[in-house]
Amino acid sequence: AQKVTQAQTEISVVEKEDVTLDCVYETRDTTYYLFWYKQPPSGELVFLIRRNSFDEQNEISGRYSWNFQKSTSSFNFTITASQVVDSAVYFCALSESNQAGTALIFGKGTTLSVSS
Amino acid sequence: EAGVAQSPRYKIIEKRQSVAFWCNPISGHATLYWYQQILGQGPKLLIQFQNNGVVDDSQLPKDRFSAERLKGVDSTLKIQPAKLEDSAVYLCASSPNWASYEQYFGPGTRLTVT
């Protein structure tokens, strides 16, 4: 069965620290997509990145970077030089190509608190 | 481009009452999703529409929840009768089409059942 595990429930850092959010997934499909979403206190889910299972290249976008490793079924997210505005709940999600729909399967989320 | 709109933003009802939520997806988006997010958990799919047809409603508690998307645009999610465990945020998301795998979420409706 498909499953996404975010073992870190809460992380607290001080501004300018680097922080890595872990995500481990389970799937029997060979074609799938992985996502990260940010949910600030306002509640709206903000899309950050999508990765397909055939593209293991790491990606960097400004202070954000993602490390996808199929060998360990992990898709970790690193924020470099964290800022207070990064405080939010971050969700990792999985979508498979062979299920009836294309709904996202979310982890339980990691709450990141960045203090000044 | 306008985002996904949802109303109301907040709703408080007593158990056994009924409630309805409304979602207007991004213009032109064929696929619409309703998710339930219980406090402290990730969103869980309730139902997925492709235009006005249901693609996946396997996790919708059909004895009390119903949803429709009659003209393939707006959608309504209804709960009747509500239970205490239905307290959650109900998120609507839309996607350009079934295969795009990129979903845009609305602000959600926070439901409290007392």
Which residues, 6+ apart, have CB-to-CB distance to A100 below 8 Å?
B55, B56, B58
> Using 50, 70 and 90 to split pLDDT, how confident is the model at A30?
confident
Each of the 114 residues of chain B gets a pLDDT tens digit; together they read 689 999 999 999 999 999 999 999 999 999 999 999 999 999 999 999 988 899 889 999 999 999 999 888 999 999 999 999 999 999 999 988 767 677 899 999 999 999
pLDDT score of A57? 84
Residue A94 at interface with chain B, using a CB cutoff of 8 Å = no
Q: Which residues of B touch A (CB under 8 A)?
A: 31, 33, 35, 40-45, 48, 55-56, 58, 89, 91, 93, 95, 98-99, 101-108, 110
Residue pLDDT, tens place only, A2-25: 899 999 999 999 999 999 999 999
Chain B residue with minimum CA distance to A45? B105
Residue pLDDT, tens place only, B37-46: 999 999 999 9
Contacts of B98 in chain A (CB under 8 A): 101-102
- CB within 8 Å: A109 and B42: yes
- CB within 8 Å: B33 and A93: no
Whether omega for the bond prior to residue B81 falls within 30 degrees of 0, making it cis, is yes
Rounded Cα distance, A93 and A4, in Å? 7
